[in-house]
Amino acid sequence: MSEVIPLCNSNELTDGGLAVPFDVVYGGQTCRAFAIRFKGVVHAYLNRCSHVAMEMDFQPNRFFDTTGQFLICATHGAMYRPDSGACAGGPCNGGLISITLSEQGGVVHWHTDFNLKPFEFS
């Protein structure tokens, strides 16, 4: 059963703007993830390029290219569709790993899954 976890206020995510980062445990490993808004809809992905498993942002929380139409990996230029995480060009090995989000009452939430859990400080 998935858990619904508050992430941020809805107004913190603007179309093509800065992402909101968060930490998750994916497949037993602690990973960074990020949430963005594209064409009015919120989306979230692991911050892990499918080309080489490294974080993608070229400046903290900046993932969109200059057109605001694609997410881009700063290291090798792999490009992804913001609404699906699918490869849109460059050296991709598949798409980004998606995280389910929901938005209600001015708050964005992320949803856990069988292999996706909250990061807990010890």
Query: b or e along 24-35 (b: 16 or more beta carbons within 10 Å of the residue's beta carbon)?
Result: bebeeeebbbbb
Which tokens in the block code for residue 81?
């569709």
Q: What is residue 120's predicted lDDT score, i.e. its pLDDT?
A: 80
Q: What is the pLDDT of residues 32-74, one digit of tens each?
A: 999 999 999 999 999 998 877 788 987 889 999 999 999 999 8
pLDDT of 122 above 80: no
Average pLDDT of span 16-35:
95
d(CA 39, CA 12): 15
pLDDT band at 82 (very low <50, low <70, confident <90, very high): very high
Domain extent at residue 86: 4-118
Q: How far is CA 100 from CA 58, 76, 116, in A?
A: 24, 26, 10
pTM here is 0.94
Question: Structural domain tally of the chain?
Answer: 1
Mean pLDDT of the chain: 93
Q: What is residue 52's predicted lDDT score, i.e. its pLDDT?
A: 73
Q: What is the CATH number of the domain that holds 14?
A: 2.102.10.10
CB count, 10 Å around CB of 86?
15
pLDDT band at 4 (very low <50, low <70, confident <90, very high): very high
Lookup result for tokens 């080489």:
52
